[in-house]
Amino acid sequence: MAHRRLLRVVQADVAEPVADQGFAISEYYFGGLLAQVGNRQHRYVTGTVVTAPDAAALADAIEKIEPTPGCELARAMNSGSSVAGLVEFCAWLRQGPFEMIEERETLDEKP
């Protein structure tokens, strides 16, 4: 059985790999990215499980976002090392399907 890849949507200012094949991202940062790529229209993410083709399409769309001063400010506020985190996130998306989970606690509160 294949290992589950989890996208942890958290209340922390992060965009970084976690655990084995997982990734953590700020709920606000992720929500902003989905809004910028027109997720409602393109439907990259429609539930808690995202297919490999949809994940790769989302990565492509994120990489095409044109930087604006407002976008750069939001990235700086919601994910300290946003550029590196965004590059890692897109690379992680391209690795295949994943399951999304929302976690109310911050990563620091994890055992």
Residue 31 within a domain = yes
- Going by C-alpha positions, the residue among 92, 111, 95, 97 that lies closest to residue 24 is 92
**Counted domains in the chain:** 1
Residue 1 within a domain = no
- Going by C-alpha positions, the residue among 26, 34, 31 that lies closest to residue 81 is 26
Residue 96 within a domain = yes
Please report the pLDDT score of residue 92 as a whole number: 97
Residues 65 and 48: their CA atoms lie apart, in Å, by 23
Residue 110 within a domain = no
This model's pTM is above 0.85 = no
- pLDDT in single tens digits along all 111 residues of the chain: 367 899 999 988 888 999 888 999 989 889 989 999 999 999 999 999 999 999 999 999 999 988 777 666 666 665 555 677 889 999 999 999 999 999 876 555 554
What range does the domain containing 37 cover? 6-104
